[in-house]
Amino acid sequence: MEKPECTEARQTVREFYSLHFGNDMKPSKEYLAKREKYLTDDWKFFISKNLQSKRDYFTSTEDYPKAFRIGECENTEPNRTVFQVVFFWKDDTRTEQREDKVEVIKENGNWLINRIF
């Protein structure tokens, strides 16, 4: 059974990555503006200072994946969770998957993405 914090935060991660995969993943001002309601101020600030890169900050690559799956959650402390997010690439010549960890914290009653590692 998943802890209540994980269940609550999972909704934010799912909504965020659905939005993210439905839009351009190349960093830009528009990229940040569409995603900012899901992000902590610290993470927004970090991304705003690094928008010149082609590297997507939410999949950790310039080779943008085709799909994602939200995996396991660990409740690391009150109001802080870490999710496994698995990314998939599949075409005629390639089938690959890789995972990142997404830290989500509760601020002012909202679960927000704080960092990707």
Q: How high is the pLDDT of residue 11?
A: 97
Query: pTM (2 decimals)?
Result: 0.94
Q: How high is the pLDDT of residue 72?
A: 98
- Where do the domains of the chain lie? 4-116
Q: How high is the pLDDT of residue 34?
A: 97
Written out in words, the top-level CATH class of the domain with range 4-116 is alpha beta
Task: Give the model confidence (pLDDT) of 57-85 as tens digits.
Answer: 999 999 999 999 999 999 999 999 999 99
DSSP one-letter code for 36: G
Burial class, 109, CB count within 10 angstroms (exposed 0-12 / middle 13-18 / buried 19+): exposed
Residue ranges of the chain with per-residue pLDDT less than 50: none
